Structure 1
């Protein structure tokens, strides 16, 4: 019952912000958020702003019933969203992918992508530390202290990796939001982390129609926080061992994306191709 209400609240809050932003798309300042998508159509990245503002606002207003509180969610969403804004509005287009930005950093050039990567790591660590509770609850001595510190470090890496991974799916209309929905539903239905998953699910459902229509997209501003908050929902139910396994999966997928196009894999697999195209208007 509670999670259903949170989903509805997340959808309503995000839809309200999104409607407000769409009404102002003709104003001069919104031109900075306009891009051309893979099909050559003009789209706005303000959808990502709606996701961050709508979901964070909903989380804060409904946090009393969350148990663990909404602060880790807010840290992940606002932190990853702010870094996404930097990359969307001041992007270095001559470097692509995680390897490209880290390579530039190794050679002394700081790209916006490298700033985002390092910032996502910092955001993940802060969110994981907040999720673990006040400092006195994780401090200690010996093995216990090492496990607590390790849990925060791995949890932070999961949140940062999830933020980056979600962005890799934001290449076709509706894809990233569909992935977010598929991840959020089981998280919402299966215990710990259900509150942030429920709010995120509502946001995905509110934004999906326009995204599928190809008139807007999440951009880094929306895809990074989408992944980050789902990362928070994941670690809220996981032991240190489970976090390590999750980080291994995320790392493997991220490294694979440097060599293999997710879009090519999806389009060459009939079931995935049909699910990916579901809801999009025919070209």
Structure 2
């Protein structure tokens, strides 16, 4: 217990320190990182690399070797592919449907690379995480006892777990449309998910440390996560969530993620949040008025 608490504290401090260091590095004002946000202000994309670096540095201290490897893999690849879309963006397609439509017509955009590459990386991370991570009954154990689990049952569980990781990465990207929104969602999910000491303590501390480090500048609107930070944050949380839930719970979470992703193609999350009491106040909390 003491070892876990110490590891969590150190991991959180590492995440905080690395995020702050990158956030206030010369990269912040480099012309390649400056973009115009929804309000017409110049903002820096440095927060994405900063949060990704903080998450990776702190996640090195995750106790379980499989969970550590899966988290580092999912977070780094999701952040890297997000960076490709942030800093080398090509094509005018937007949203999941737009990127897939462009790909179907033979147009390979940076967005298409991201929406295909992240699920592949997520499934590999899920395979690394392994079905033993939950140490509970499997998704398909109602068909066969756990001890008789076949290769196809393990494959289904791996795909479902990969879907949770990729779906969470995508959801956080969809949320990163207003200052602080994705960070708040990350803190809420990390704080409210069921907790197993050896599974969630260190990852939650890392997410908390990096989020606190980025919080003032993000809420001020001077920097933004972009695809780099939002995808990395979502992948890290999705991996922790997957390691913490039973396979059946992962299936439920995946269904919710798929539903939200499909809904985002038709409905604006910002419109829903701003018209819903409670969500509106949480979303606006701490945000600088410009």
Q: Which residue does 1:182 correspond to in 2?
A: 188
After superposition, the Cα gap between the structure-2 partners of 1:31 and 1:130, relative to the gap in structure 1 and judged at 3 Å, is: same
Q: Which residue does 1:138 correspond to in 2?
A: none
Q: Distance in 2 between matches of 1:196 and 1:128?
A: 16
Q: Which runs of 5+ in 1 are unaligned?
A: 135-140
| Shift in Å, 1:280 | 1.1
In 2, are the aligned partners of 1:81 and 1:224 still within 8 Å (CA)?
yes
| Shift in Å, 1:66 | 4.1
Number of residue pairs matched? Answer: 276
Counterpart of 2:150 in 1: which secondary structure? helix
Q: Which residue does 1:243 correspond to in 2?
A: 250
In 2, are the aligned partners of 1:147 and 1:240 still within 8 Å (CA)?
no
Q: Distance in 1 between matches of 2:20 and 2:161?
A: 34
Of 257, 276, 279, the match for 1:272 = 279
Deviates more, 1:143-152 or 1:243-252: 143-152
| Shift in Å, 1:2 | 5.8
Q: Which residue does 2:168 correspond to in 1?
A: 162
Alpha-carbon deviations, 1:236-269, whole Å to 9, x = none?
A: 1233322221111000000000000000001111
Matches within 5 A, 1:1-283: 5-6=6-7, 8-21=9-22, 22-25=24-27, 30-60=30-60, 62-63=61-62, 65-66=63-64, 68-92=66-90, 94-132=92-130, 143-187=149-193, 189-191=195-197, 193-194=199-200, 195-283=202-290
Alpha-carbon deviations, 1:23-47, whole Å to 9, x = none?
A: 31466xx211111111222211111
| Shift in Å, 1:58 | 1.8
The two structures have a TM-score, normalised by structure 2, of 0.87
Q: Distance in 2 between matches of 1:36 and 1:9?
A: 36
Q: Distance in 2 between matches of 1:243 and 1:266?
A: 25
Alpha-carbon deviations, 1:212-231, whole Å to 9, x = none?
A: 01111111110001111111
Counterpart of 2:244 in 1: which secondary structure? coil
Q: Distance in 1 between matches of 2:250 and 2:50?
A: 30
Counterpart of 2:26 in 1: which secondary structure? coil
The two structures have a TM-score, normalised by structure 1, of 0.89
Q: Distance in 2 between matches of 1:152 and 1:108?
A: 29
In 2, are the aligned partners of 1:187 and 1:197 still within 8 Å (CA)?
no
Q: Distance in 2 between matches of 1:274 and 1:39?
A: 19
| Shift in Å, 1:4 | 5.3
Aligned alpha-carbon RMSD (Å): 2.5
Q: Which residue does 2:138 correspond to in 1?
A: none
Deviates more, 1:156-165 or 1:142-151: 142-151
Counterpart of 1:35 in 2: which secondary structure? strand
